[in-house]
A and B are shown apart, each in its own frame.
Chain A
Amino acid sequence: MKLRKIFILSLLGLCLLGCENKETVEESFALKYQNQTFTLGEVFSKEKYGEELSYSEVSSCAFEGLDKTYRYSDFEVTTYPIDGEEKVAVIYFLDENIETTEGLKISDSLQKMLDLYGTDYQKEDTMYQYQKGNTLLKFIVSNDTVISIEYVLEI
C-alpha cells in the first residue's frame, strides 16, 4: 500500500515537472545597467536608451535596410530593421565603466570570466563565446585580460 502511494506520488511529481518544463521560457543574456534591463531582440526606443552621443549607419552591399549604431558614453547599440521595426542586435562595451549583469567588465581577468561564466564556451582564437537561447555573450581575451565584451543576437 505504502509502495503504491510512493509510486503514485512520484508519477504525479514527474507529471508536474513535465508541465513546468513546458512552460519554461528559453533563457537569454540580457544587460542590467543603471536600473534598466536591455534585452537583445527588443524594439529599440530612445525613451529607454536615451539620446545618443553619435550615430552611424551601415548599409549592406545589395540588400535594403540599414544597420544603425547608436553610441552612448559606455556602450554602443546596433539595431537591425525587421518588419518595419528597429530591433536591438548588438550591445558592445566601450570602456571599463560598464559591467555585464553577472559582474564582468573590460580589464577583468580571464579567471574572473571563467569563475562567473564557467567553461561551457566556444573558443575561436582569442574569443570566448557563451550562448543562451539565441543570444551570445562574446569576450575577447588578450594576455589573460578581457579586452572586449559584446552581447549579440543570433539573427
Chain B
Amino acid sequence: MKRVGIVFGILFLFIVLFVFISELVSPKYSIHLVEGGMIRDYYLENTHHDVLFLGDCEVYANLNPMNLYENYGITSYVRGTSQQLMWQSYFILKETLHYETPKVVVLNVNAMRYSEPVSEAYNRLTIDEMKWSKEKIEIIKASMTKEENFFSYLFPILRYHSRITSLTDEDFTYLFQKKKNTHNGFLINQNVKPYTSFPTERPLTQSDFSPIDYEYLDKIRVLCEENKITLVLMKAPSLYPYWYPEYEENIKRYANTYQLDYYNFLEKIEEIGIDYQKDTYDGGLHLNLTGANKLSTYFGAILKEKYSLQDHRNDDKIKEVYEKKLREYYKEVES
C-alpha cells in the first residue's frame, strides 16, 4: 500500500514538473508577439456583446469597440487574429457561440484570398491560447501545415522545448498570469508612418476564390442563420495586399446570392476621412488609433441604424463594466 502511494507520489510530481516546464517554455504573448495573446483576452469577458467582428489584422487594428460604445452604446468584441483564415473564423465563431450569441457578426473577407494554411507561426498566434474545446481540436486539424503535427499543440513542450536556453524576463514575469493587451480585442497602435508606395501589383493567376474558402464562408453563413444572427461582410480600407476587382466581384456576387450586406470601406476612404499620411502606422496596411476611430465612428452609425442595435449606455450593469474598460483604455491611450 505504501509502495503504491510512493509510485503515485512520484507520478504526481512528474506531471507537475512536466506541466510547469511546458508552461515555462511556451511563449507568453504578453510583451512580445502580443498578437498571440488576443484570442485569450476574450475569456475574461463577463458581459454580452451585440456585435462580433471576425477576421485578420484588418479587424483588430482597424475597428475599435471602445469607440463604438462611447459614440453609440454598441457593445462589441473583435475576435480577430493575425492572418486569420476562413476556417479559423468559422471555428472561432463556433466557439464564441458557447459563450454568447451576438446579434450581428461582421466578417472581414480579406482572408478569402488564401486557399491553404500559410505558416505555422501564424497558426500559433491564433490557436496556442485558445481554451481546449472541440473547436480547438477542429481548428488545429483544419489549420496545420504539412510540417506540423497535432501533438505539438497538445503538448507545447514538444514544440517549444528549445526555448529553455533562451528564456527571458517575460517568461518568468508572466508565467502564471498573462498580460491583457487588447480592449475588447482591439490592439491600440498610435504610431504614424505615412503611405509612400507598395510593390507592383502582380497579375492574378486565379480570378475566383478557392472552393475551401466558399465552403467555410457557407458554414459561417449557415451557422449565423441557425442562431438568428445577422451576418455582415466587410472589407477593411487596407491598401495592401491589393484587393483585386475580381475579388470584389466574387464577394458582391456571393452577398447578392444570399442577400447579405457587404461594405467595402476601400471605396469610402474619402467619406470616412482617412488620411493615409496620418492615419496609418505602417504605410497603409493597417490604421493607427486615429484611423481606427474614424472607421469605427463611420461604421458604428451604419451598424446602429441598419441593425437596430440597442444603446447600452443607460444600462447600469453594462455602464459599470464599460466605465472600467474605458478608464483602462484611456490610460493606455494617454501613456
Closest to B35 in A: A62
CB distance from A5 to the nearest CB of B (A): 51
CB distance from A40 to the nearest CB of B (A): 16
Report how far A76 CA is from B122 CA in the complex, Å: 27
Contact: A76 with B200, CB < 8 Å? yes
In the complex, what residues of B have CB within 8 A of residue A143's CB?
A: none
Instruction: Tell whether A58 is near chain B: CB-to-CB under 8 Å.
Output: yes
Contact: A58 with B203, CB < 8 Å? no
Report how far A56 CA is from B121 CA in the complex, Å: 24
Instruction: Tell whether A125 is near chain B: CB-to-CB under 8 Å.
Output: yes
CB within 8 Å for A76 and B197 given contacts A59-B282, A61-B82, A62-B35: no
Instruction: Tell whether B283 is near chain A: CB-to-CB under 8 Å.
Output: yes
CB within 8 Å for A58 and B240 given contacts A125-B205, A127-B205, A140-B205: yes
Closest to B282 in A: A59
Report how far A63 CA is from B57 CA in the complex, Å: 12
Instruction: Tell whether B285 is near chain A: CB-to-CB under 8 Å.
Output: yes
Report how far A140 CA is from B201 CA in the complex, Å: 13
In the complex, what residues of B have CB within 8 A of residue A137's CB?
A: none
Report how far A71 CA is from B285 CA in the complex, Å: 19
In the complex, what residues of B have CB within 8 A of residue A59's CB?
A: 282, 285
Contact: B205 with A126, CB < 8 Å? yes
Closest to B38 in A: A62
In the complex, what residues of B have CB within 8 A of residue A10's CB?
A: none
> Quick one: which of A92, A126, A140 contacts B200, CB cutoff 8 A?
A92
CB distance from B196 to the nearest CB of A (A): 6
What range describes how many residues of A lie at the interface? Answer: 20 to 34
CB within 8 Å for A56 and B35 given contacts A61-B57, A62-B82, A62-B125: no
Complex interface bits, B24-58 against A, C-beta within 8 A gives 1, otherwise 0: 00000000010110000000000000000000110
Report how far A71 CA is from B196 CA in the complex, Å: 13
Contact: A58 with B197, CB < 8 Å? no
Report how far A69 CA is from B57 CA in the complex, Å: 22
Report how far A3 CA is from B121 CA in the complex, Å: 61
Majority SS of interface residues in chain B? Answer: loop
Report how far A2 CA is from B240 CA in the complex, Å: 73
A-B contact count (CB 8 A): 59
In the complex, what residues of A have CB within 8 A of residue B36's CB?
A: 62
Complex interface bits, A130-149 against B, C-beta within 8 A gives 1, otherwise 0: 00000000001010000110
Contact: B198 with A56, CB < 8 Å? yes
Instruction: Tell whether A31 is near chain B: CB-to-CB under 8 Å.
Output: no
Report how far A21 CA is from B206 CA in the complex, Å: 40
Closest to B197 in A: A56
Instruction: Tell whether B199 is near chain A: CB-to-CB under 8 Å.
Output: yes
In the complex, what residues of A have CB within 8 A of residue B62's CB?
A: none
Report how far A58 CA is from B283 CA in the complex, Å: 8
Q: Which of B256-309 contact A (CB under 8 A)?
A: 282-283, 285
Instruction: Tell whether A54 is near chain B: CB-to-CB under 8 Å.
Output: yes
Closest to B58 in A: A61
Instruction: Tell whether A57 is near chain B: CB-to-CB under 8 Å.
Output: yes
In the complex, what residues of B have CB within 8 A of residue A142's CB?
A: 203
Instruction: Tell whether A47 is near chain B: CB-to-CB under 8 Å.
Output: no
Report how far A35 CA is from B57 CA in the complex, Å: 43
Which A residues contact B (CB, under 8 angstroms)?
54-59, 61-63, 69, 71, 76, 78, 92, 94, 124-127, 140, 142, 147-148, 150
Q: Could you list some 21 contacts between A and B, CB below 8 A? A: A54-B196, A55-B196, A56-B198, A56-B283, A57-B282, A61-B35, A61-B82, A61-B83, A62-B125, A69-B198, A76-B199, A76-B200, A78-B199, A92-B200, A124-B206, A125-B206, A126-B206, A127-B205, A140-B202, A147-B203, A148-B202
A57-B282, A58-B283, A124-B205 known, 6 other contacts, Cβ within 8 Å: A56-B196, A56-B199, A58-B285, A61-B83, A147-B203, A150-B202
Closest 9 CB pairs of A and B: A62-B35, A61-B82, A61-B57, A69-B199, A62-B82, A125-B206, A56-B197, A125-B205, A127-B205
